[in-house]
């Protein structure tokens, strides 16, 4: 009966969670993924088109195709993270292999209409790969007891006790369902013996720490996995000789898992608590919708200009979480609270800001080309919804103050020698924060080669981005953070066939 009753409590446990600015930024960012040619040229395709992943920049680009095409791309993602925490630096690497793009375009030509070409395209892109991990280890004056004290102060002691005949995991789920996340964290800290009431009375609302230290050693491990994918349905046309117009409907899908493991030691010799472990699991899934409009104009045989509008993306997301905790003072049955005991949260929504892109390209006949894109996105317009929720309202005020305009610059070039195409690109993206010390600017460069077999093409690309990110170890309750230097390196291979 114990496991059956726990399962029923899991299904019944629905309560508001604390989504933050980090959730908004995670799902607002689209990396330069897509076809190998697109990646090699830094994604600077807004005035070029003629590539399935270019539809992510300008939906008019499908009308540039002269033939119907199919393409598929696979990538190896290599992550290198240097995490500075306290005075210690830890390096972590991670590799994953994914099919990140597949799509096709159908081109219909007409000799008797001002609309010389119509194109219908379908494309899948993994716009963000969440596979990553880092380890932060070092001494800090801010122990995990501060996390639990932050949530416990003001909470009545009575609900934090396990009632007679009640299982501890049922009490954990029930307090989360009835009193919310903060009271649930206070319950964990109390049952693990990390915090203690100042008065042993059910009406007590003040607590102190059982951990005594000047500094503690923390080892924090975080692993993430999942993706943000986009399936695009696109329609575009070429009007007379020099104008291309297009529109896309984009259907987004999100799967995100994050596991964090924290071990804390190094307390004073006479401290009642001598070790603490605290682990968390977050699972997020959902879907979204956006649309885009764009145009490309040929000013002459060499110069093209483009402009596009990417609408906000409206996401519907759900979270579930699991936790486990232990310490030298924990109650004997604390291990029954584990990753099999799941908190289910109500659905919430995120609206990411729209984006404007302006582009210019110079085409040197069959010899090559140069292309430049500028993107403008005001991240302060992002929102957690419903905005009527008081928790979301306060977080949205913080988002509006903390985030600002993200200017993006992309430069790409291609040089052709017979059947061989040599490519290179550069990408610069400003920090979404007004304070660039929280997340730094992103710099990236790329290169690649393509070989045409006439009716098909094989492309190889290499891309590298680097960015410094001040990563908070917990979403709320404690401001411990590690400064992480992130270097992401992708190697992609793509194949395209015309028909």
For residue 216, pLDDT beyond 60: yes
Percent of the chain with pLDDT over 90: 89
The residue to which tokens 């210019």 are assigned = 360
**Residue 8 confidence (pLDDT):** 37
> What is the pLDDT averaged over residues 204-219?
97
- Name the DSSP letter for residue 340: T
pLDDT above 70 as % of the chain: 96
Instruction: Give helix 2-12 / helix 168-179 axis angle, nearest 10°.
Output: 10
pLDDT of residue 333: 96
Q: Tell me whether the omega of the peptide bond preceding residue 419 falls within 30 degrees of 0, making it cis.
A: no
Q: DSSP code of 276?
A: E
* pTM, 2 dp: 0.92
User: Which of 249, 133, 135, 156 is CA-nearest to residue 488?
Assistant: 133
What is the average pLDDT score of the chain?
93
- With a CB cutoff of 8 Å and minimum separation 6, the contacts of 417 are none
Q: Is the pLDDT of residue 349 over 80?
A: yes
3-state secondary structure of 499: coil
pLDDT in tens, 138-178: 999 999 999 999 999 999 999 999 999 999 999 999 999 99
**CA dist., res. 168 & res. 442, Å (int):** 46
Instruction: Identify the pLDDT of residue 9.
Output: 40
User: Cβ contacts of residue 186 below 8 Å, gap of 6+?
Assistant: 148, 151, 152, 155, 160, 195, 207
For range 447-474, the mean pLDDT: 96
Residue 373 pLDDT > 70, yes or no?
Answer: yes
Span 184-204, mean pLDDT? 97
The predicted pLDDT at position 391 comes to 79
Assign residue 27 a region (left: φ > 0; alpha: ψ between -120 and 50; beta: otherwise).
Answer: alpha
Q: Does the pLDDT value for residue 191 go beyond 60? A: yes
What separation in angstroms does the CA of 149 have from each of 4, 296, 334, 342, 455?
33, 58, 19, 23, 67
Query: Looking up tokens 């049952």, which residue turns up?
Result: 191
Could you give phi then psi for residue 183, rounded to 5 degrees? -65, -35
pLDDT band at 18 (very low <50, low <70, confident <90, very high): low
Beta strands in 198-340 (DSSP E): 207-209, 216-239, 243-265, 276-298, 303-310, 314-327
Task: Dig out the tokens for 65 from the structure.
Answer: 């195709």
Q: What is the pLDDT of residue 260?
A: 97
Q: How far apart are the first and last CA of the chain?
A: 62
Rounded to whole angstroms, the Cα distance separating 36 from 99 reads: 12
Q: How is 83-150 classified by DSSP, letter by letter?
A: EEETTEEEEEEEEEEEEEEEEEEEEEE-SSSSEEEEEEEEEEEEEEE--EEEEEEEEES--THHHHHH
pLDDT at 489 over 60: yes
**3-state class of 243 per DSSP?**
strand
C-beta of residue 415 within 8 angstroms of C-beta of residue 368: yes
Residue with tokens 């579930």: 320
The stretch 484-498 carries a mean pLDDT of 97
Per-residue pLDDT tens over the stretch 221-272 = 999 999 999 999 999 999 999 999 999 999 999 999 999 999 999 999 999 9
Which pLDDT does position 14 carry in this prediction?
36
For 46-55, how does the pLDDT look when each residue is reduced to its tens digit (9 = 90+)? 999 999 999 9
Q: Which two tokens stand for residue 210?
A: 């059982």
CA 245 – CA 382 distance, rounded (Å): 28
* Segment 75-99 mean pLDDT: 95
**Residues written for the chain:** 499
Rounded to the nearest 10 degrees, the angle between the axes of helix 181-191 and helix 145-152 is: 130
Place of tokens 């030298």: 328
Among 62, 57, 29, residue whose Cα is nearest residue 42: 57
Summarised one tens digit per residue, pLDDT across range 142-152 is: 999 999 999 99
Residue 389 above 90 pLDDT? no
What pLDDT was estimated at residue 479?
Answer: 86
State how far the alpha carbon of 429 is from the alpha carbons of 25, 409, 447, 459, in Å.
14, 6, 18, 25
Whether pLDDT at 31 is above 90: no
251/234 Cα distance (integer angstroms): 11
């Amino acid at each position: 009966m114990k496991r059956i009753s726990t399962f029923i409590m899991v299904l019944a446990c629905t309560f508001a969670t604390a989504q933050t600015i980090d959730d908004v930024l995670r799902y607002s960012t689209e990396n330069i993924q897509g076809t190998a040619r697109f990646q090699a040229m830094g994604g600077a395709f807004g005035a070029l088109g003629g590539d399935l992943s270019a539809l992510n920049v300008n939906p008019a680009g499908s009308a540039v195709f002269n033939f119907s095409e199919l393409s598929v791309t696979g990538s190896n993602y290599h992550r290198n993270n240097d995490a500075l925490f306290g005075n210690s630096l830890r390096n972590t690497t991670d590799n994953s292999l994914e099919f990140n793009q597949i799509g096709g375009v159908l081109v219909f030509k007409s000799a008797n209409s001002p609309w010389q070409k119509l194109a219908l395209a379908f494309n899948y892109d993994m716009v963000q790969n969440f596979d990553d991990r880092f380890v932060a280890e070092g001494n800090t004056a801010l122990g995990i007891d501060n996390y639990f004290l932050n949530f416990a102060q003001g909470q009545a002691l009575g609900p934090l006790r396990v009632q007679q005949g009640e299982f501890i995991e049922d009490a954990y789920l029930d307090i989360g369902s009835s009193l919310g996340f903060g009271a649930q964290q206070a319950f964990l800290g109390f049952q693990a013996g990390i915090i203690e009431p100042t008065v042993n009375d059910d009406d007590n609302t003040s607590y102190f720490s059982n951990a005594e230290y000047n500094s503690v050693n923390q080892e924090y491990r975080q692993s993430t996995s999942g993706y943000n994918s986009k399936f695009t349905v696109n329609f575009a046309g070429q009007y007379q000789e020099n104008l291309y117009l297009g529109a896309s409907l984009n259907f987004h899908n999100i799967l995100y898992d994050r596991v964090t493991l924290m071990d804390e030691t190094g307390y004073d010799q006479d401290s009642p608590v001598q070790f603490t472990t605290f682990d968390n699991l977050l699972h997020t899934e959902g879907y979204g919708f956006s649309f885009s409009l764009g145009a490309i104009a040929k000013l002459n045989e060499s110069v093209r200009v483009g402009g596009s509008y990417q609408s906000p993306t409206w996401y519907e997301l759900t979270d579930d979480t699991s936790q486990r905790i232990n310490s030298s003072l924990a109650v004997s049955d604390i291990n029954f609270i584990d990753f099999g005991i799941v908190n289910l949260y109500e659905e919430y929504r995120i609206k990411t800001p729209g984006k404007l892109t302006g582009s210019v390209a110079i085409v040197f006949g069959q010899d090559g080309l140069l292309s430049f894109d500028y993107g403008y996105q005001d991240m302060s317009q992002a929102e957690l919804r419903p905005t009527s929720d008081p928790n979301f309202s306060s977080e949205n005020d913080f988002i509006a103050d903390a985030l600002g305009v993200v200017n993006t610059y992309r430069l790409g070039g291609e040089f052709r020698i017979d059947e061989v195409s040599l490519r290179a690109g550069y990408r610069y993206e400003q920090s979404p924060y007004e304070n660039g010390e929280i997340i730094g600017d992103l710099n990236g460069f790329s290169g690649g080669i393509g070989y045409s077999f006439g009716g098909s093409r094989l492309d190889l690309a290499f891309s590298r981005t680097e960015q410094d990110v001040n990563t908070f170890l917990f979403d709320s309750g404690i401001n411990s953070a590690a400064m992480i230097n992130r270097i992401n390196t992708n190697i992609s291979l793509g194949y395209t066939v015309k028909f």
